[in-house]
Structure 1
Amino acid sequence: MLTIYHVPGTRSARIIWLCEELDHPYQVETIDFSPDYRASPEWRALNPVGKVPAMRDDGFSMFESGAMLQYILERYGDGRLRPRPGTAASAKYLQWCWFAEATLARPLGDMAHHLFLKPEPERIPAVVEDARRRAVLCIEALEDALAKRPYLLGDAFSAADIMMGYSLVLGRRVGALQPEHETAVSYLEHLAERPAFRKAFPN
């Protein structure tokens, strides 16, 4: 069975969310995310940089949440939650998947590190403000895209919305996503109504 190594509130939630949407069986191992465990040979064998998520399936392990989603969809998705590869719709799907992680989540991660993850003497307010500016630019671009449609690809929910949904949860946590971002907030609230979302983010 597919095993998801999970820390609540982290990117491993994307994998739980996807499996719930697909009704695909999985098991969760909630791990100790202390620095000592993340540096241990046991964990580094699953994720060589000591981060989450990681996953095991069919005798092998992998890391990177976006890659895990792609693998699960290719192996178990039966064409669900993504457009047919090689189409214009698939190109847009890939664009939004990687925008969510590579473009939006990066400044959000910088904010998180300098707001509460780093030891207080190492936190730099100027880094937070620069990252906030970059994150808000991304959120505004997302709002433009969602102005006339409920999901990233139109009327149909896709795994791109799973990728983006986690990034917006993080954006809300660090304070980049604000009430004035009405379209993005409404989109996240709409995603949060899905039962699979509630399984991935129970609190």
Structure 2
Amino acid sequence: MLKLFHVPKTRSTRIIWLCEELGVPLDIETVSFSSEFRMSPEWLTKNPVGKVPVLEDGELSMFESGAMVQYILDRYANGRLQPMAGTPDHALYMQWSWFGEATFARPLGEIVNHRRNFNPEIPEVVEEMVNRALLCVKAVNDAVEGKEFLLGEFTAADIMVGYSLMLCNQLIPSHSYDEANQYWARLCRMNGAVKAFGGLNPGSLSQ
């Protein structure tokens, strides 16, 4: 059985969400997010940069959430939640999956790290990262106009982007992208999202 080392509201929610949508059994062990735990020798053997999550499947151990998503799809999904490899739709699926982490999550992570490490914060730095994140929200907004999900039908790319939308909602209080708000509301109603976010009410991106 897959085993996930999990911290609520972190990237490990992607794995819970995906497995719930697929009906794939997942053993979840909640761990501490303290720096003492994450930088301990024991944890560094699982994740060499002291981050969360970690996924284990037998002898296999992984520490990158996007790679975990793709591994689960390729091994356990039987073709579900991703288009056929080698097709234009699969190329777009990969684009949005990587966008969710490499492009969208990056400025959000910079906001978190800046606020954690600088007191007082430098407003110009936060403003620049907010603007970059809002460009990503606009990209999502434009992509889902007239569609339920990024590729029309729900795929794991929506899970990858959905986590970043959740983080954006926590860090940036308001924007005016209505299509993105409606898309986010649709994601929040999915059984996998409810399971992944637990007691968190993701709410509207424009709250």
| TM > 0.5 fold call | yes
Residue-by-residue CA offset, 1:89-109 (whole Å, 9 max, x unaligned): 000000000111111110011
Aligned twin of 1:76: 76
Of residues 162-171 and 180-189 in structure 1, the stretch that sits farther from structure 2 once superposed is 180-189
Q: Displacement of 1:126 after TM fit?
A: 1.7
Contact 1:114 1:125 in 2 (8 A): no
Aligned twin of 2:15: 15
Instruction: State the identity %.
Output: 52
Task: Please tell me the residue identity of whatever aligns with 2:92.
Answer: K
Question: Aligned partners of 1:159, 1:33: CA distance in 2, in Å?
Answer: 26
Q: Displacement of 1:179 after TM fit?
A: 4.4
Any unmatched runs of 5+ in structure 1? none
Question: Aligned partners of 2:91, 2:191: CA distance in 1, in Å?
Answer: 28
Q: Displacement of 1:118 after TM fit?
A: 2.7
Question: Aligned partners of 2:176, 2:130: CA distance in 1, in Å?
Answer: 15
Task: Please tell me the residue identity of whatever aligns with 2:136.
Answer: C
- Structure 1 residue matching 2:61: 3-state secondary structure: strand
Aligned twin of 2:204: none
Q: Are the structure 2 counterparts of residues 126 and 179 from structure 1 closer, same or farther at C-alpha, using a change threshold of 3 Å?
A: closer
Question: Aligned partners of 2:196, 2:17: CA distance in 1, in Å?
Answer: 5
Aligned twin of 1:27: 27
User: TM-score of the superposition, structure 1-length normalised?
Assistant: 0.94
1:60-139 to structure 2, matched below 5 A, reads 60-115=60-115, 117-118=116-117, 120-121=119-120, 123-139=121-137
Count of matched residue pairs = 199
Indicate whether 1:175 and 2:172 are aligned: yes
- Structure 1 residue matching 2:134: 3-state secondary structure: helix
User: TM-score of the superposition, structure 2-length normalised?
Assistant: 0.93
